[in-house]
C-alpha cells in the first residue's frame, strides 16, 4: 500500500532550505549559487527555498535576494519550484520583496511572522493577508516562534487557510498537536521545518519537509519520504534514525544550521563560503566532528 499526503504538495515534497553561498570576501557568490542549486536538484531535491533562516536572509540585501533568485532559476530552469523568503518585520518592505521575487522568477514566497515587534494575532493575520493580496504567487507561511518571538496560533492559521494563495506552511512551531489540528481542518500543505520532525509530520499528513540537512545529504532526506510513500514504514524509520546523528550534530550542537551546513559543505568541496557577521564560522574541532558524522552516514 502506498501513501498519499492529505494535500498534494504544491512545491514538491523534499525541499532544501538552501544556504546562500558567499565569496571569501563576503560577496554573493552567484556562480556558486548556480552550482549548488544544480547539485541539490541532481541529488534529489524537489524544490529549493531561498533566503530563509539557513539562507542568511537577515544579512542579505534586497538586491542580493533578487539576484539569488535569478541565478538559481537559471541553474534549475523549470525542473523544480523555487520559493523565495521575503519576510521582514515591516509589512511595506515585505510587500516590496514579494513583488521583487515575483519579477525575479520565484514560484512562491516564504512569509515569516513579523519579528521583534511581536504583533498580536489580528495584526499577524492582517500582515499575511496584505502580502498575499499584493502578488499572484502562492504563499508558504513560516511559523518559527523561537526566532520571531510570536507564533501563528492555530486559530489564526485556520482563518488564513481561507485565502486562495495561502497554500502551505513551513512548521517550526514545535506544537505537534496544534499542527495536527490545522492539518485535520484545512487543505494547507504542511512542511516540516525541523529535520527531526520530517518523518513524524509526514506520517500524519504533511506534504514534505523544508530541510537544512538537505544541503549536505539531499538524497538521504528524500529517501525517507520515498520509503514511506512506498509503504515501507520500517525502512523509512531506519533511514530517519540513520540521519538522526547528523541532524543532532548540525541542528542541536549550539550553532545555527547555517554555520554547520556551510562548514560541512566546505569539506565536501561544494559552494558555501563564510557566514556573515554576527554569525561566526565553525571552529576546526566542530568541523571535523561534523565531517566524521557525515562520513558515518554515507558509509553506513
Examine the residue annotation and report whether 170 is marked as an active-site residue of this protein.
Answer: yes
Examine the residue annotation and report whether 142 is marked as an active-site residue of this protein.
Answer: yes
* Short-list 176, 206, 209, CA closest to 188: 206
* Short-list 227, 232, 216, CA closest to 297: 216
How many whole angstroms from its chain centre is CA 221?
A: 13
Q: Exactly one of 3, 65, 115, 142 is catalytic; name it.
A: 142
Sort strands 189-192 and 108-112 into parallel, antiparallel or unpaired: unpaired
For 151, list phi and psi in degrees, rounded to 5. -95, 170
Q: Exactly one of 3, 115, 170, 174 is catalytic; name it.
A: 170
Indicate which residues carry an active-site annotation: 142, 170
Amino acid at each position: 500500500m502506498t501513501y498519499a499526503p492529505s494535500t498534494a504538495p504544491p512545491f514538491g515534497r523534499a525541499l532544501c532550505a538552501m544556504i546562500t553561498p558567499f565569496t571569501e570576501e563576503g560577496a554573493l557568490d552567484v556562480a556558486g549559487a548556480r552550482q549548488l542549486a544544480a547539485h541539490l536538484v541532481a541529488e534529489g531535491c524537489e524544490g529549493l527555498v531561498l533566503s530563509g533562516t539557513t539562507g542568511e536572509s537577515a544579512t542579505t540585501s534586497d538586491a542580493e535576494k533578487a539576484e539569488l533568485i535569478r541565478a538559481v532559476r537559471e541553474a534549475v530552469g523549470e525542473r523544480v519550484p523555487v520559493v523565495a523568503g521575503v519576510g521582514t518585520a515591516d509589512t511595506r518592505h515585505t510587500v516590496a520583496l514579494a513583488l521583487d521575487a515575483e519579477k525575479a522568477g520565484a514560484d512562491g514566497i516564504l512569509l515569516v511572522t513579523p519579528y521583534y515587534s511581536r504583533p498580536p494575532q489580528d495584526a499577524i493575520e492582517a500582515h499575511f493577508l496584505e502580502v498575499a493580496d499584493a502578488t499572484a504567487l502562492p504563499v508558504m507561511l513560516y511559523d518559527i516562534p523561537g526566532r520571531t518571538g510570536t507564533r501563528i496560533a492555530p486559530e489564526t492559521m485556520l482563518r488564513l487557510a481561507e485565502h486562495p494563495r495561502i497554500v502551505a506552511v513551513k512548521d517550526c512551531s514545535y506544537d505537534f498537536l496544534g499542527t495536527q489540528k490545522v492539518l485535520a481542518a484545512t487543505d494547507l500543505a504542511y512542511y516540516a521545518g525541523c529535520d527531526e520532525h520530517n518523518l513524524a509530520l509526514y506520517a500524519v499528513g504533511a506534504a514534505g519537509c523544508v530541510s537544512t540537512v538537505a544541503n549536505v545529504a539531499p538524497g538521504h532526506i528524500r529517501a525517507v519520504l520515498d520509503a514511506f510513500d512506498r509503504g515501507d514504514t520500517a525502512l523509512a524509520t531506519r533511514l530517519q534514525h540513520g540521519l538522526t546523528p547528523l541532524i543532532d550534530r548540525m541542528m542541536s550542537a549550539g550553532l545555527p544550521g547555517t554555520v554547520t551546513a556551510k562548514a560541512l559543505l566546505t569539506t565536501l568541496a561544494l559552494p558555501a563560503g563564510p557566514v556573515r557577521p554576527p554569525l561566526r564560522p565553525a571552529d576546526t574541532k566542530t568541523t571535523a566532528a561534523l565531517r566524521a558524522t557525515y562520513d558515518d552516514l554515507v558509509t553506513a
